[in-house]
Chain A
Amino acid sequence: DGGITQSPKYLFRKEGQNVTLSCEQNLNHDAMYWYRQDPGQGLRLIYYSQIVNDFQKGDIAEGYSVSREKKESFPLTVTSAQKNPTAFYLCASSIDGARGAREQYFGPGTRLTVT
C-alpha cells in the first residue's frame, strides 16, 4: 500500500514537554508539508520541505521544529514554546513543490492534546 502514515493517532502530553509527531511516505514524493487544523479555521501551514535537507517556515512556525534527513520522513516537534499546542496535525506530500500545480496527499492526522 502506498501512502502517508502518521503516528500516533492520538497523543497526550503534559504542558512543558516537547513531543515529536511522525510522518512517513512511500510515494517517492519530493515535497512534504505540516499543517495544523483548528475548528472553524481550516488548515494553517507550519513548515514545508521541497527536498531532502531543506525546509522553510510556513505561516505559524513559532514553537515548532522539523527535520528532513530522508526523503520519506518529515517529523514535526512541538516544543514547549508553542503556546497553544492542542490541535489536529496533518502531514501531506506532493510529487514536487514547484509551481503549486500538484495536488497534495494527506496522512490520517495526529490529534495532540496538551494539559
Chain B
Amino acid sequence: AQSVAQPEDQVNVAEGNPLTVKCTYSVSGNPYLFWYVQYPNRGLQFLLKYITGDNLVKGSYGFEAEFNKSQTSFHLKKPSALVSDSALYFCAESNFNKFYFGSGTKLNVKP
C-alpha cells in the first residue's frame, strides 16, 4: 500500500535560519510528489511538485524540495525562515487519480 510519512509532528526554527520538513514515500517506480501548506481553518495551498527531471524542485514563497530516490525522500527546505512561514505542511504522493497525504508537520518559526 502506498503511504507517505512525515516523521516529525512539529519543527521549531528561529527566523532567518534554514528549515527542513521531512517526508518519505513508499511507492515504487516513479512517484509524483507534492508539498502543500495549510494555514489555520483554511484549505491547502499547493507549494511545489516533483514529476520528473531535476531532483531539486523550486516552488512558491522561496520553498524548494529535494527528491532523493535512493532514500525515498522528498524533504521541503527553505534557506531562511520567516515567521509568516508558520503553518501546517503536508507531503503527498499520487498514483493516477488518487492522492495520499502525510499526517502533517507543524512548523513554528520564532522571531
**Chain A interface residues (CB < 8 Å from chain B):** 4, 6, 31, 33, 35, 40-45, 48, 50, 56, 58, 88, 90, 92, 97-101, 103-109, 111
* A109 B43 Cβ-Cβ under 8 A: yes
10 closest A-B pairs by CB: A100-B94, A106-B43, A97-B97, A43-B101, A42-B101, A42-B103, A106-B44, A103-B46, A100-B32, A108-B43
Cα distance A41–B36 when bound, in Å?
Answer: 15
* B103 A48 Cβ-Cβ under 8 A: no
Chain A facing B: main interface SS:
strand
Residues of A within 8 A of B95 (CB): 100
| Apart from the given pairs A99-B96, A100-B97, 4 other A-B contacts in the complex at a CB distance below 8 Å | A35-B101, A90-B44, A103-B46, A106-B43
Report the interface size class on chain B.
20 to 34
**Chain B interface residues (CB < 8 Å from chain A):** 9, 32, 34, 36, 41-46, 49, 51, 90, 94-99, 101-104
Pick the residue among B45, B49, B99, B103 that contacts A45 (CB under 8 A). Answer: B99
Cα distance A4–B44 when bound, in Å?
Answer: 12
Residues of A within 8 A of B41 (CB): 88, 109, 111
* A101 B51 Cβ-Cβ under 8 A: yes
Residues of A within 8 A of B34 (CB): 103
The chain B residue sitting closest to A106, CB to CB, is B43
The chain B residue sitting closest to A4, CB to CB, is B43
